[in-house]
Structure 1
Amino acid sequence: MSVTVVVGNPKPASRTLTAATLVAQALRPDSAPAVIDLVTLGPGLLSWGDPAVGEAARTVAESELVVFASPTFKATYTGLLKLFLEQFDGGTGLAGVVAVPLMLGAGPAHALAPDLLLKPVLVEIGATAALPGLYLTDRTFHEDGAIAAYAERWRPVVDALTTKSLQSNTEKATNHA
């Protein structure tokens, strides 16, 4: 199974990256996630046709599970993540991808942001966002148990969704042979 982490924090190697990687590993402990730290793509996100951005978009579109992560900025996800999400066609760009919206913040004031703000965009570009979004407190996520509790509750759903995807792809390959 291919798992990818997409991080929209303007700081490289951020706590958001750490949290997203932990979530991906907890949901799919059998797969090491590919990591796309969007800040490393720099100005390439501002125009169409950048090869590094195109490769990152292909990696995401070909993944079965993607954790989309952002710190909470002005009560929503970052413009950096928005720029990257613009690379995908509406309705089909992330078809076949199980997406997990993840946001971090200083306190509980924006706990609904992953579901209210990030999840609808992921659905709009074709992702399957069957899991609820996850909001983590940026200073306590290492020790508060929220990631483990989320993974324990939602790993069976991820397994079912991605197993179905694997079976569907196998059937398609068999039918074309």
Structure 2
Amino acid sequence: MTAHGTPDHQPLRIVTVVGSPRAGSRTRLAAESLANALATTLAESGTPAETAPTIDLAELASGLLVPWSLSAEAAEAVATVQSSTILLLATPTFKGSITGILKLLLDTIPSGGLEGVVAIPVAIAGAPAHRHLAEIALRPILAELGAATPVPSFLLLEEELGDVQSAADDYATAHAPVAAAVAQALAVRRKE
């Protein structure tokens, strides 16, 4: 199956969600750099992948405030997240955890709603002591939602953002094959 994205020959679909409260943030830059690096690395290895337009939650915040009455844009974002093959969830470390805006999105997804999705947390921290805090908060939520998390999170310090493309390329080289293999296996399970 290495020559195909999924069993029905569809490319792997990489969806990027940015949970920064500021639109167009450095967190978005890091997440999009990783999405593009993953797609390029997979394509070079013969696994077709495509990146969906980035979902920047700062632009959708008010539509997420009432989970049972989402705005049309927020509902579309949730559907896009649930239909992804590989999901990048990006957040700055905010008060020792993920941002509230990212939690709002995740709260709209039912338990098991990300079954069959490979999720990769992306976290930006201001200090070394905070590097893993957002990841620690995010992984249990992803487990509850049914997402597979077979590869390490993409964790950067703010001071490393100047060389984000190099870090993203290195990460993709090391982890894209595993993420793709798990995504393909989950796609087979979904078809059964």
TM-score w.r.t. length of structure 2? 0.82
1:23 counterpart (30, 34, 38): 34
CA contact (8 A) 1:114 1:133 kept: no
Which residue, 150, 153, 171 being the options, matches 1:133? 153
How do 1:1-177 residues align onto structure 2 when only pairs under 5 Å count?
Answer: 1-29=12-40, 30-47=49-66, 48-50=68-70, 51-90=72-111, 92-143=112-163, 145-169=166-190, 171-172=191-192
> Which deviates the most, 97-106 or 156-165?
156-165
Contact 1:6 1:67 in 2 (8 A): yes
Q: Find the aligned partners of 1:168 and 1:46 in 2 and give their Cα distance.
A: 34
Query: Displacement, 1:137?
Result: 1.6
Output the CA distance in 2 between the equivalents of 1:42 and 1:85. Answer: 12
Question: What residue in structure 2 maps to residue 175 of structure 1?
Answer: none
- Which structure exhibits the higher relative contact order, with contacts defined as CA atoms closer than 8 Å and separated by 6 or more residues? 2
**RMSD between aligned alpha carbons?**
1.6
1:115 Cα deviation after fit: 3.3
SS at match of 2:160: coil
1:133-175 Cα offsets, whole Å, 9 max, x none, are 2211224234163322221111110121122234445x54xxx
Q: 1:18-42: CA deviations, max 9, x gaps?
A: 1001111212224223210001112
- Distance in 2 (CA, whole Å) between partners of 1:125 and 1:167 is 19
1:104 alignment partner, SS class: strand
- The amino acid of 2:58's aligned partner reads V
SS in structure 2 of the partner of residue 140 of structure 1: helix
Deviation larger for 107-116 or 123-132: 107-116
> Any stretches of 5+ residues in structure 2 without a counterpart?
1-11, 41-48
Query: Conserved in 2, the CA contact under 8 Å of 1:115 and 1:132?
Result: no
Residues paired across the two proteins, number: 170
Taking only the aligned residue pairs, the percentage that are identical comes to 35
Deviation at 1:118, TM superposition (A): 1.1
Deviation at 1:49, TM superposition (A): 2.1
The amino acid across from 2:15 in the alignment is T
Corresponding letter in the other structure for 2:91:
S
SS in 2 for 1:16: helix
User: 3-state SS of the aligned residue for 1:141?
Assistant: helix
